[in-house]
Homo-oligomer: A and B are copies of this chain.
């Protein structure tokens, strides 16, 4: 156990503003709701220290009006368990903060608490998941398992929301368009930005603009320049250097001279007067090309195609190939077609066939609907840079995972509610995914852990958990047991996949879903069922526990 002492000013009850995470970037156990700690004390006072509990972590609705969710955040949860320990400074803070009269032995107990006796089951990170099927199931001593609640929810909710959002963008954009996450500046706090980069990569993005995310998670980082770069130049007279070494000959040549010469010709080819294009912009592009002759990618306003093409041809004279342009305003469908057309003309006239293939990046306030609409109109965009809507999940900025007690000391617990949707599925359960012969997922089935798993080729009665008449027989061609033990006896007990592997898993898992579950408009809900045995168990408990009268 690392010592994660934070430095406590024992005099005035003031703790330093530092240490949001421990040295390894793992969240601390104090990142929780106070009521978890007050409950822990009450459990401890009631001598419930050795009670054994099972909690389910699940969501009730898929986000974004969709019919699937990508589960993400598991690795962070496991790291959190691994480092779970209240530092001396945490304990000091709690002593000052909890109501007076808390017995000192409780703080000693807290100070020695670890997640060693907890067992965590989960579906694989990157797998598609569905409402009511727990994505994580945790067993262990009631107090510690309760104390984990808020932090686990925090680590899973946004990660899964973000991965799902990214996967949806990937689906509408198609396989062949590159997707980059550009949202750091609009993210909900610095870590919101980092998590967004990580989990949008998980969900199927190709990279991020966020450099720290690149460094921490080994994600490709991308970017060109901002409008400010263009406006920082007002004329070609400001260029302190115009010289660039020819890639093959090594001879220094005047790139601006080449560009101006090409601009004359291009002005006719593209039918744009050179007066319409700014001198400052030309200077900025020349200087940028000198800095990145092999990676020249320029932000192009409506009037910038002429200057860009001139500089790209100048680079070509010196043996370099430009990469392309980024469009950040205006009508993206129209402008991308216009740009592609211009590139094709240049390719033909100047005998530079690779000009046809210049990359066109678009990046102006793009969301799922924008991409769908662009697809409908027809566009020539190769890459989308997506910010605000992606990282803040504007369409639905929170996933509602909950964490419910389902069993204590071997006895099932049910949460009743007048709202059927909020009734929990009691007891320690197994979860299976049943597949058709063609490899598609048919249904997720919850059973009591004591039941034998469904068998391939055998008829299984699958029941709607709450509607008596909704039943179906399913004969699976393949049965997948969804839970693996990921944490037991104080150790992570599976080889954890790399971020790349989780990213692949997302695409593989999505492929097992029928298209009608994945479509944007009115997708078909995927079925989640319970075994006949579990159905009867739930409903017996329900009747036993439901009060007959009501206050209201």
Please give the residue numbers on chain A whose beta carbons come within 8 Å of chain B beta carbons, in ascending order. 13-21, 23-25, 27-28, 30-39, 41-48, 51, 53, 55, 90, 93-94, 97, 99-101, 142, 146, 149-150, 153-155, 157-159, 182, 184-196, 209-212, 214-218, 221-229, 231-232, 234, 239-241, 272-273, 275-278, 287-288, 290-295, 302-303, 305, 329-331, 334-335, 338, 388, 392-394, 397-401, 403-405, 408, 411, 413-415, 417-419, 422, 545, 547-552
Cα separation A400 to B159 with both chains bound (whole Å): 23
- Contacts of A218 on B, CB cut-off 8 Å? 13-15
- Contacts of A397 on B, CB cut-off 8 Å? 188, 392-394, 397
Cα separation A17 to B218 with both chains bound (whole Å): 9
Interface centre among A155, A338, A547, by most chain B C-beta atoms within 10 angstroms, is: A547
**Subset of 30 A-B contacts with CB under 8 Å:** A17-B24, A18-B23, A19-B216, A20-B212, A31-B193, A32-B210, A32-B212, A33-B182, A33-B211, A34-B209, A35-B223, A41-B292, A97-B221, A99-B295, A158-B188, A158-B192, A185-B401, A188-B189, A188-B196, A188-B393, A188-B397, A189-B189, A189-B195, A228-B405, A234-B413, A272-B549, A302-B418, A303-B551, A330-B552, A334-B552
Cα separation A273 to B241 with both chains bound (whole Å): 90
- Contacts of A403 on B, CB cut-off 8 Å? 228
Shortest Cβ distance from A22 into B: residue: B18
- Contacts of A417 on B, CB cut-off 8 Å? 329
Kindly provide the distance from the CB of A488 to the nearest chain B CB, expressed in whole angstroms. Answer: 22
Would B154 and A39 count as touching, CB distance under 8 A?
no
Would B215 and A186 count as touching, CB distance under 8 A?
no
Would A155 and B190 count as touching, CB distance under 8 A?
yes
Kindly provide the distance from the CB of A278 to the nearest chain B CB, expressed in whole angstroms. Answer: 7
- Contacts of A184 on B, CB cut-off 8 Å? 31-33, 150, 154
Would A240 and B47 count as touching, CB distance under 8 A?
yes
**Contact with A302, one of B215, B224, B303, B551 (Cβ below 8 angstroms):** B551
Using known A-B contacts A25-B17, A211-B31, A405-B231, determine if residue A153 contacts B223 with beta carbons closer than 8 Å.
no
Would B234 and A150 count as touching, CB distance under 8 A?
no
Would B552 and A335 count as touching, CB distance under 8 A?
yes
Would A41 and B146 count as touching, CB distance under 8 A?
no
Would A35 and B209 count as touching, CB distance under 8 A?
yes
Would A228 and B404 count as touching, CB distance under 8 A?
yes
